[in-house]
Chains A and B, each alone.
Chain A
């Protein structure tokens, strides 16, 4: 196992780099990414949906020129989908091929050794990330969806960067990958998992950063309009909604307004395009009502 040469000089360096790949990180995000690389620890990213958790992993991969390996978690995920699986069909073929050429003189133990060797191994994302020769970023997406028991699968990888396969022995990482785990916080993750990770909570960005994000991601948008958009979004987020507008929805809205040729958002335009920002009918009604009553305040 070789420790990779430090790729970043400091948090500021990470921040600059991420900006180049159009990800505007704040001080906290850049700091944690930097530490993750220095301490060789995985990062657990938590926060509301649509604030750029998955995008962070992608952008870091792009920045470091690493390959992104992604494991999408779901309920019922198991070893054979996450770690590795023996290629059962190929093993059968191998045994049959042996029978055909009966007199080759190979004993059963030879065959056994043969069919439980690397050519018969199907690597799944986690093992693939460990065995990669090139630099990789491993993204374990929505880790809160797997059962608590399945979480244990991840522990060996996250703390020691190795996978134990009973028939083969322990496969240790050739180089330490950067690991990101994302969680939407639908359940409490186990202490064991949390302990092994650095924790990063990504919340809705503040006004200035969101405006910058809009300007970077929606080229051609006027400064005034961007400013107004993020202010209205902040205003809507302050309401008690089922699902507050995320950054990606702010971007969608900005694109919509740009396409409509809006220069200045008034109450009517805002109310008319609320469905881009909000996804529940009750939320839309509530926000529309609130925007309308601002007139009478």
Chain B
């Protein structure tokens, strides 16, 4: 491994080991980020690196991913760690590997009027000039120029100071606010309209193209900020601050918008897997009880000796599910994902009925009927269902009481009742006797709470009063826990 290999040249600060040490450090960071990497996979990665040109950043990345990341959901986390750990370091970052990228770099260098990276000569480029360059880069979809503009913009607007303990998102926000991308997009669309007198469809496609270019810019800005952070604080510190939870581990109650999108994407394959697993479990279940009649019948051919016992085919009845969900703001995301999961697994249950409440309660089963689009149904639940009685603050007591009056009789011994919510009752009466009655009729009754267990029964949470009547209370803060619960339900 001679000089010029970026792996060796770009070793994280403070690390003096060679290739092996670098990979080991990287693996540690991957494990910290929640990606399981076994010892053999670590060895495979080292072996793989012997076969590829180490100067080729892309090849190194794919070699490491292929040997160590065995789950697509982990890809994003891997990419972040990789970018931080093997960030281009030092004052002089390359903008890209291909020669045509050089042009962009020189352009900006000329515009900045200085050597690269020292940030001293920003004045050379006025805000108008930068905006103009940005506009040009977006219009032409010029990747190199876009990267160059992103760099200049970060230098100019992010106001990054050494040693300042601020996360990357803060700088990202500052930079993007100054660039005022909405206005730029508007200008792009106005400008290009005369050239494309096409149909609405064309307009739409054009807009989407510009939006994807803007996304590209955002990513470039983000990457640039990350690079600078790494140069300032070192990889280990930055890796810690950019570490993001894997989709399975995202907390329902505190998910950001971006994380909610990731969750929504993760739930489709999850339901598919769960459905297959539940169906298999049903089919390959234990053998049933002895079928006395058939055993005697067969024993005739062995002279009356029951040598070949026959068993009944077990037909475990599918449970009927009643979901009673709190859909008030604090737990809405959780209710949404649970409903989605339960309805996607529709075929595994004999019947699913759902009720939504805040302080009033309403049956929302019909919204899910006759539509295959669960997302749409949930949106209708949120906008149309009659769930507000007085003030729109959760009142478990009143909701449960109404539930008992109107639908209590329909709970029977085949029904499993799922209660979803944080049991934060705003100091109303608990009416926990309702649950005692329901539990008496139902086959099972479970409570799923999206809050961490340590928060239960603190403040206005009165889960304890309800929990005594339930067959089980479960902490469901993320998909992993929700999946585990649903699997044992089928």
Stretch of B196-204, B287-295, B317-325, B452-460 at the chain-chain interface: B196-204
Give the size of the chain A interface in residues (CB under 8 angstroms).
Answer: 50
Q: Is B58 an interface residue (CB 8 A)?
A: yes
Chain B residues contacting A240 (CB-CB under 8 Å) are 264, 373, 375
The residue in chain B whose Cβ has the minimal distance to the Cβ of A184 is B272
Q: Is A234 an interface residue (CB 8 A)?
A: yes
Q: Is B70 an interface residue (CB 8 A)?
A: yes
Q: Is B401 an interface residue (CB 8 A)?
A: no
Q: Is B339 an interface residue (CB 8 A)?
A: no
Q: Is A174 an interface residue (CB 8 A)?
A: no
Chain A residues contacting B203 (CB-CB under 8 Å) are 294
Asked if A286 contacts B273 (CB within 8 A), the reply is no
Chain A residues contacting B305 (CB-CB under 8 Å) are none
Q: Is B65 an interface residue (CB 8 A)?
A: yes
Asked if A39 contacts B47 (CB within 8 A), the reply is yes
Chain A residues contacting B142 (CB-CB under 8 Å) are none
The residue in chain A whose Cβ has the minimal distance to the Cβ of B53 is A10
> In the complex the two chains form, what is the Cα distance from A232 to B198 in whole Å?
14
> In the complex the two chains form, what is the Cα distance from A199 to B326 in whole Å?
41
Known: A187-B273, A195-B41, A235-B208. A201 touches B72 (CB 8 A): yes
Q: Which residues in window 239-297 of A have CB below 8 A to B?
A: 240, 242, 264-267, 270, 280, 282, 286, 291, 294-295, 297
Chain B residues contacting A90 (CB-CB under 8 Å) are none
> In the complex the two chains form, what is the Cα distance from A31 to B60 in whole Å?
9
> In the complex the two chains form, what is the Cα distance from A32 to B209 in whole Å?
30
Q: Which residues in window 198-245 of A have CB below 8 A to B?
A: 198-201, 203, 207, 228, 231-232, 234-235, 238, 240, 242
Asked if A32 contacts B66 (CB within 8 A), the reply is yes
Q: Is A185 an interface residue (CB 8 A)?
A: yes
Asked if B199 contacts A266 (CB within 8 A), the reply is yes
> In the complex the two chains form, what is the Cα distance from A39 to B63 in whole Å?
11
> In the complex the two chains form, what is the Cα distance from A280 to B373 in whole Å?
11
Asked if B205 contacts A228 (CB within 8 A), the reply is yes
Contact of B372 among A11, A188, A282 (CB under 8 A): A282
Contact of A32 among B62, B280, B371 (CB under 8 A): B62
Interface string of A9-20 (1 = CB under 8 A from B): 011000000000
Q: Is A131 an interface residue (CB 8 A)?
A: no
Chain A residues contacting B273 (CB-CB under 8 Å) are 185-188
Interface string of A170-192 (1 = CB under 8 A from B): 00000000000000011110010
Interface string of B33-46 (1 = CB under 8 A from A): 00000101100100
> In the complex the two chains form, what is the Cα distance from A39 to B209 in whole Å?
40
Q: Is A41 an interface residue (CB 8 A)?
A: yes
Asked if A198 contacts B66 (CB within 8 A), the reply is yes
Asked if B373 contacts A267 (CB within 8 A), the reply is no
Q: How far is the CB of B100 from chain A (nearest CB, A)?
A: 15
Chain A residues contacting B59 (CB-CB under 8 Å) are 11, 27, 31
Chain A residues contacting B276 (CB-CB under 8 Å) are 186-187
The residue in chain B whose Cβ has the minimal distance to the Cβ of A188 is B273
Q: Is B331 an interface residue (CB 8 A)?
A: no
Asked if B75 contacts A242 (CB within 8 A), the reply is no
> In the complex the two chains form, what is the Cα distance from A234 to B63 in whole Å?
28
Interface string of B14-49 (1 = CB under 8 A from A): 000000000000000000000000101100100110
Asked if A199 contacts B65 (CB within 8 A), the reply is yes
Q: Is B300 an interface residue (CB 8 A)?
A: no
Asked if A39 contacts B51 (CB within 8 A), the reply is yes
Which of B71, B75, B209 has the most C-beta atoms of chain A within 10 angstroms of its own C-beta? B71
> In the complex the two chains form, what is the Cα distance from A199 to B38 in whole Å?
14
Contact of B52 among A35, A264, A297 (CB under 8 A): A35
Contact of B201 among A186, A201, A207, A294 (CB under 8 A): A294
Asked if B69 contacts A199 (CB within 8 A), the reply is yes
Known: A185-B269, A231-B205. A35 touches B63 (CB 8 A): yes
Asked if A242 contacts B372 (CB within 8 A), the reply is yes
Known: A32-B66, A187-B276, A195-B41. A46 touches B72 (CB 8 A): yes
Q: Is B277 an interface residue (CB 8 A)?
A: yes
Asked if A44 contacts B269 (CB within 8 A), the reply is no
Q: How far is the CB of A249 from chain B (nearest CB, A)?
A: 18
Add 18 more A-B contacts to A187-B273, A240-B375 (CB < 8 A): A31-B66, A35-B52, A147-B280, A185-B272, A185-B273, A186-B276, A198-B44, A199-B70, A231-B205, A231-B208, A238-B208, A266-B199, A267-B199, A282-B372, A286-B373, A294-B200, A294-B203, A295-B200
Task: List 11 interface pairs A-B (beta carbons < 8 Å), by A numbering.
Answer: A27-B59, A35-B66, A47-B72, A195-B40, A199-B65, A231-B205, A232-B205, A240-B264, A240-B373, A291-B201, A294-B200
B-to-A contact residues, CB < 8 Å? 38, 40-41, 44, 47-48, 51-53, 58-59, 62-63, 65-67, 69-72, 75, 198-201, 203-205, 208-209, 212, 264, 269, 272-273, 276-277, 280, 371-373, 375
Closest 6 pairs between A and B when the two form their complex, measured CB to CB: A295-B200, A294-B204, A31-B62, A282-B372, A194-B70, A198-B66
